Amino acid sequence: MATRTELYNDDHHAIALCATADPMVSLEGRDFCSTSDLSPTELRATLDLAHELKAHPHKYRWALDARQMVMFFEKASLRTRLTFETAINTLGGSAIFVDQTQSPLGERESLADMARNLERWTSVIILRTYAHETITEMALYSKVPVINALSDLEHPCQALADFMTLEERFSTVKGLNFTYVGDGNNVCHSLMLTAALLGAHCTIATPRKYAPKAEIVVQATEIACTTGGTLIFTQDPVAAVTGADAVYTDVCTSMGSEHEETKRAPIFKPYQVNEALMAHARPEAVFMHCLPARRNAEVTDAVLDGPRSIVFDQAENRMHAQKALLLMLVGRHQNSKAD
Does residue 250 have an active-site annotation?
A: yes
305 assigned to active site: no
Which of the residues 67, 132, 155, 169 is marked catalytic?
155
Residue 158 is among the residues annotated as catalytic for this protein: yes
Q: Where does 148-298 have alpha helices with state H? A: 156-170, 186-197, 214-227, 237-241, 261-268, 275-278
Within 10 Å of residue 4's Cβ, how many Cβ atoms? Answer: 15
Active-site residue (options: 18, 81, 158, 314)? 158
Find residue 287's DSSP bridge partners. 247, 309
Q: Known catalytic residue: 318?
A: yes
Catalytic residue, chosen from 250, 314, 320, 332, is 250
Q: Return all residues near 99 (Cβ < 8 A) that are at least 6 apart.
A: 73
Distance of CA 238 to the CA centre of its chain: 25
Longest Cα separation, the chain = 56
Among 169, 290, 320, 332, the active-site one is: 290
5 three-state secondary structure: strand
Residue tagged active-site, from 128, 132, 189, 332: 128
DSSP assigned state of 223: H
Task: Based on the residue annotation, tell me whether 334 is a catalytic residue of this protein.
Answer: no
Sign of torsion over alpha carbons 156, 158, 163, 167: positive
Query: Is 61 a residue of the active site?
Result: no
Nearest to 87 by CA among 123, 121, 50, 55: 50
Parallel, antiparallel or unpaired: strands 14-18 and 4-9: antiparallel
Catalytic residues: 128, 155, 158, 250, 290, 318
